[in-house]
Amino acid sequence: MLLQNEIAIITGGASERGIGRGIATLFVEQGARVAILDLDGETARDLADSFGKEHRGYPCNVTNRDEVEAAISSAVQDMGSPSILVNNAGITQPKRIAEITMEDYDAVLDVNLKGTFLCSKTVIPHMRNAKKGNIICISSVSAKRGGGIFGGPHYSAAKAGIIGLTRAMARELAPEGIRVNAVAPGLIDTDITKGKLTPELKAEIIESIPMKRIGLPIDVARACLFFASELSSYVTGEIMDVNGGMHID
């Protein structure tokens, strides 16, 4: 098992068919104890209970500093110091630039970018004390190729911001034994599109993917496992594409 004795905090893990749940499930299979933080605290708790009593779920809005600090402090008290953080919570909106209101902009930037910043900032002191840690951020192919799949320009900007934040944190924290990496998924079959991805658009996208299929949460989870484990012991500041060849750079 690759994550024996590790304690992993995973944000946005409650969604039934989501990437966060896929990551939590794989991490538990690999021996980690997981804390799931989500807006939907009840489902996060139920999911943790289904994994076993050593796992926990907490309600948390990643955009709210008090809630992030409270949830992470509860996780530390209940489980011990986290050695892994996966910044997975995110939202998207299929809007063109002219349609994006300031509320839309704030919502998308806050959950994706500010949430990643706040959760990292709160977890880092614990990792510093232990001189060990792994932070994994979830960007998107939209950051690299300028959208064009589902999310609007504000989503591309937030996910590109996550790449900059990942690289800067990686450089700053490497001397302290903390590695920071990111995964940039292509289109993954989850409910983030809230039914707005039409079968026609889906078919069009599949046609443009060299591997001729949409990704699954487990595809992203396996990349996160690589970064969370010693398999990537000399890797930091890396952004890994998980997109079936949709974008290659």
* Residues contacting 151, CB < 8 A, separation 6+: 92, 93, 94, 108, 140, 142, 159
- Scanning 12-20, 47-55, 169-177, 228-236 for contacts with ligand NAD by CB under 6 A, the matching segment is 12-20
In whole angstroms, the minimum distance from the beta carbon of 4 to ligand NAD comes to 26
Report 89-128 residues binding ligand NAD (CB under 6 A): 89-92, 111, 115
One of 58, 105, 155, 234 is an active-site residue; which one? 155
Backbone phi and psi for residue 201, each to the nearest 5 degrees, phi listed first? -65, -40
Tell me whether residue 58 is one of the annotated catalytic residues: no
d(CA 134, CA 179): 5
Backbone phi and psi for residue 29, each to the nearest 5 degrees, phi listed first? -60, -30
Which of residues 130 and 205 has its CB atom nearest to ligand NAD in the complex? Answer: 205
Which of residues 15 and 134 has its CB atom nearest to ligand NAD in the complex? Answer: 15
Which of residues 111 and 124 has its CB atom nearest to ligand NAD in the complex? Answer: 111
Which one of residues 34, 48, 60, 124 is an interface residue with ligand NAD (CB under 6 A)? 60
Report 172-231 residues binding ligand NAD (CB under 6 A): 185, 187-188, 190-192
Is residue 18 part of the contact set for ligand NAD (CB under 6 A)? yes
* Residues contacting 219, CB < 8 A, separation 6+: 185, 188, 242
The site for ligand NAD, by CB under 6 A, has a size of 29
φ/ψ region of 148 (left if φ > 0, alpha if ψ in -120 to 50, else beta) reads left
Which of residues 6 and 110 has its CB atom nearest to ligand NAD in the complex? Answer: 110
Strands 56-59 and 7-11: unpaired
In whole angstroms, the minimum distance from the beta carbon of 15 to ligand NAD comes to 3
In whole angstroms, the minimum distance from the beta carbon of 102 to ligand NAD comes to 18
Which of residues 31 and 146 has its CB atom nearest to ligand NAD in the complex? Answer: 146
Calculate ∠ Cα 148-150-154, nearest 5°.
80
Let me know how many helices (H) and strands (E) the chain has, helices first: 9, 7
Which one of residues 26, 33, 38, 221 is an interface residue with ligand NAD (CB under 6 A)? 38
Backbone phi and psi for residue 100, each to the nearest 5 degrees, phi listed first? -75, 120
- Scanning 15-23, 73-81, 95-103, 225-233 for contacts with ligand NAD by CB under 6 A, the matching segment is 15-23
d(CA 132, CA 173): 10
- From start to end of 30-123, where are the E strands? 33-38, 56-59, 84-87
Q: Tokens 């890994």 sit at which residue? A: 240
Q: Under the rule (CB under 6 A), what is the footprint of ligand NAD?
A: 11-12, 14-15, 18-20, 38-40, 60-63, 88-92, 111, 115, 138, 140, 185, 187-188, 190-192
As annotated, the active-site residues are 155
